[in-house]
């Protein structure tokens, strides 16, 4: 096809254990005061001296949150914790999450953007699951930046090369700006990287797409960051898109996309969803 070769792991289990434990019923302080108190005592996982200290910190956070916000859901709890990771500058932990996206991941930090909470949808025609992280939790129709994960199923398995070939095939509104193949930074297996734009007749905007196509278990998935690009003409949209892609910010996002990784737990997750 012409490509050119070129400490969070245990958190979910601990969360379940804490949420299912019998905790004493205590008076609930005002929400703002409780949130401030939890935030003040929060420490980045990478700043803790041992795995034991990390586990203790998790337990303290989850117990405090459940006690102070008994009406909130587990998703609310995980989203609040993500916000603390961002506000406390826990860059190593946020990078780890980006490189280990699981079905329990609610939000992501890509570049300097907060993406999520995530939403999932299944296309019965293509048999593809899409996991979408919109900017700051906006509806998909309003978000100008999105991170999309597309899973193509495990039975029968699909090879990344098949997806890449189909991706670059001529399509009416999709234009390929660049493509290459290289080892995936995480799995070290062959991956395909594509820069493309989606343009619509008569519209003064389009999408610039940064895509990685790689393997997960015996099958394949894609990760795509999409960004709205505006312009008075199709030519101007393309010029603006290329300028952003070549900018320092564009390079940062491309770097982030290349570091995204998932594991085989998604197969069981989708089997249960279906």
pLDDT in the model for residue 246: 95
pLDDT in the model for residue 30: 53
Band (pLDDT 50/70/90 cuts) for residue 10 is very low
Band (pLDDT 50/70/90 cuts) for residue 31 is low
Given a contact cutoff of 8 angstroms between Cβ atoms, the answer to whether 84 and 106 are in contact is no
Every domain of the chain and the residues it spans = 8-98, 102-274
Asked if residue 182 has pLDDT above 90, the reply is: yes
pLDDT in the model for residue 27: 40
pLDDT in the model for residue 262: 95
Residue 177 has φ and ψ, to the nearest 5°, of -100, -25
Residues in the chain: 274
Angle at 30 between CA 27 and CA 33, to 5 degrees: 115
Asked if residue 176 has pLDDT above 60, the reply is: yes
Give me the chain's average pLDDT, please.
88
pLDDT, mean of residues 190-209: 96
Phi-psi region of 75 (alpha: psi -120 to 50; beta: other; left: phi over 0): alpha
pLDDT, mean of residues 93-106: 94
Band (pLDDT 50/70/90 cuts) for residue 254 is very high
pLDDT in the model for residue 273: 85
100: three-class secondary structure by DSSP: coil
pTM for the full model?
0.84
Q: Tokens at residue 207, please?
A: 């999408």
Asked if residue 55 has pLDDT above 80, the reply is: yes
CATH code assigned to 102-274: 3.40.1000
Band (pLDDT 50/70/90 cuts) for residue 216 is very high
């Amino acid at each position: 096809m012409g490509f050119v070769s070129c400490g969070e792991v245990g958190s979910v289990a601990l969360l379940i254990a804490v949420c299912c434990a019998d905790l004493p019923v205590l008076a609930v302080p005002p929400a703002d005061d409780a949130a401030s108190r939890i935030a003040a005592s929060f420490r980045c996982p990478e700043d803790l001296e041992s795995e034991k200290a990390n586990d203790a910190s998790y337990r303290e956070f989850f117990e405090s949150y459940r006690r102070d916000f008994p009406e909130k859901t587990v998703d609310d709890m995980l989203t609040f914790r993500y916000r603390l990771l961002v506000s406390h500058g826990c860059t190593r932990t946020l990078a780890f999450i980006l490189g280990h996206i699981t079905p329990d991941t609610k939000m992501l930090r890509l570049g300097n953007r907060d993406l999520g909470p995530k939403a999932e949808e299944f296309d019965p025609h293509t048999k593809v699951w899409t996991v979408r992280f919109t900017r700051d939790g906006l509806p998909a129709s309003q978000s100008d930046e999105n991170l999309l994960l597309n899973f193509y199923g495990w039975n029968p398995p699909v090879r990344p090369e098949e997806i890449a070939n189909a991706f670059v095939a001529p399509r009416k509104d999709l234009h390929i700006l660049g493509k290459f193949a290289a080892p995936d930074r995480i799995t070290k297996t062959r991956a395909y990287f594509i820069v493309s734009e989606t343009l619509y007749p008569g519209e003064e905007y389009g999408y610039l797409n940064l895509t990685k196509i790689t393997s997960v278990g015996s099958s394949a998935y894609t990760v795509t960051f999409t960004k709205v690009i505006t312009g008075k003409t199709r030519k101007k949209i393309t010029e603006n898109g290329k300028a952003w892609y070549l900018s320092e910010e564009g390079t940062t996002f491309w770097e982030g996309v290349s570091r995204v990784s998932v594991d085989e737990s998604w197969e069981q997750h989708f089997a249960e969803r279906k």
